Amino acid sequence: MTARSRRALLASQTAPAQDAAAALRDRYEWVSIEEADLVVALGGDGFMLQTLHAMLDRRQPQLPVFGLNLGTVGFLMNEWRADGLEARLAHAKAVNVTPLCMEATTVDGEQHRIPAINEVSLLRETRQTAKLEVTLNGRIVLPELACDGVLCATPAGSTAYNLSAQGPILPLGSSMLALTPISPFRPRRWRGAIVPDKARIGIRVLNPEKRPVSAVADQREVREVAQVDIAIDRARDLTLLFDPEHALDDRITMEQFLS
């Protein structure tokens, strides 16, 4: 990136983000997103995911995004500072993130195709345990998984919901996906799997009328699904920008040493 890049500014609706946006508008020049070479996003991780999904929805090429944390955790963001933004953008490290594609078919036959940057998760909708059949590249690997749900996480998302569900942390360049059960009941000893990101994962809901299940791609939910297929979408790479001392790949690695 260069200091002369044409920048668009996006901010969440929270008061801290709006105040920060006002401060940046007074200090730097901005253009519309249609004219921009890159995006500066103000907010938390949730707003960053919204921004990246908006990039995926664009018919134009996706723009690199430099996030400034005005939220809580800010794992996908850089430290908020109003000073020195042009120099930070000029020296930013680019990190590529490849999303998943979730293809969900409901009990009524409706089909939904939704990207996911962090994870795709299947969750039981009622008090009834979910029962799922899991396939890998068309081969049945779990004939019946009784659980609260299961999720498939990218390396970028492996430190989010996946880690809370006791899933593994995946280095950003590992070319792997984490398949992690949520409160598994049977088979009781199955704690998940790490699979190549070339794999196609299929999850069929057993008896979906009695045991309804929803599927969530990041923040977008499809209810009463019958079948969900998950695969990497290599045609839609995203680019995040980080301060060199605060890059995402290093932060994911260091998460393994936190207590």
Ordered by where they begin, the domains of the chain are 7-98+237-257 (3.40.50.10330), 100-234 (2.60.200.30)
Q: Is 164 annotated as a binding residue?
A: yes
Q: Is 28 annotated as a binding residue?
A: no
Catalytic-role residue among 45, 83, 237, 249: 45
Q: Which residues contact 6 (CB under 8 A, 6 or more apart)?
A: 31, 35, 36, 37, 38
Q: Is 32 annotated as a binding residue?
A: no
Q: What is the mean pLDDT of residues 116-121?
A: 97
Please check the confidence at residue 8 and state whether its pLDDT lies above 60.
yes
Residue 250 is among the residues annotated as catalytic for this protein: no
Q: What does the pLDDT look like over 33-48, one tens digit per residue?
A: 999 999 999 999 999 9
End-to-end CA distance of the chain: 35
Q: What is the mean pLDDT of residues 118-132?
A: 97
Please check the confidence at residue 186 and state whether its pLDDT lies above 80.
yes
Q: What does the pLDDT look like over 213-227, one tens digit per residue?
A: 999 999 899 999 999
Rounded-to-integer distance, Cα 226 and Cα 111, Å:
10
Q: Is 249 annotated as a binding residue?
A: no
Rounded-to-integer distance, Cα 208 and Cα 220, Å:
20
Task: DSSP letter for 57, please.
Answer: H
